[in-house]
């Protein structure tokens, strides 16, 4: 019972570390060229959309994990 909460916390930390790595290693170096003064705006827009999608995915994963933990604790 107590172990499942540690699983949840472990998954949460794992997602935060992976998310930070993706943001720094993958999203950080993205640059768009060929649009003149709008290069930085397009690059920032792509990075922002990708970051929001990652946050939504992380929330869904953590929500499903939380539901699993509480369902397991209620049944025991």
pLDDT in tens, 54-64: 999 989 988 88
What is the span of the domain harbouring residue 50?
Answer: 2-75
Question: Which comes out higher in pLDDT, residue 11 or 49?
Answer: 49
Q: What is the mean pLDDT of the chain?
A: 85
The count of domains in the chain is 1
pLDDT of 45: 92
pLDDT of 73: 67
* DSSP structure class, residue 38: G
pLDDT of 53: 93
Element (H, E) at 68: helix 39-75
pLDDT of 2: 63
pLDDT tens, 20-59? 898 889 888 888 888 888 889 999 999 999 999 999 998 9
Query: Tokens 């649009």 sit at which residue?
Result: 35
């Amino acid at each position: 019972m107590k172990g499942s909460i540690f699983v949840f916390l472990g998954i949460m930390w794992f997602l935060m570390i992976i998310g930070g790595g993706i943001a720094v290693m993958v999203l950080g170096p993205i640059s768009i060229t060929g649009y003149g003064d709008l290069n930085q705006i397009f690059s920032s827009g792509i990075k922002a959309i990708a970051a929001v999608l990652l946050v939504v995915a992380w929330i869904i994963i953590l929500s499903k994990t939380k539901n699993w933990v509480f369902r397991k604790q209620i049944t025991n």
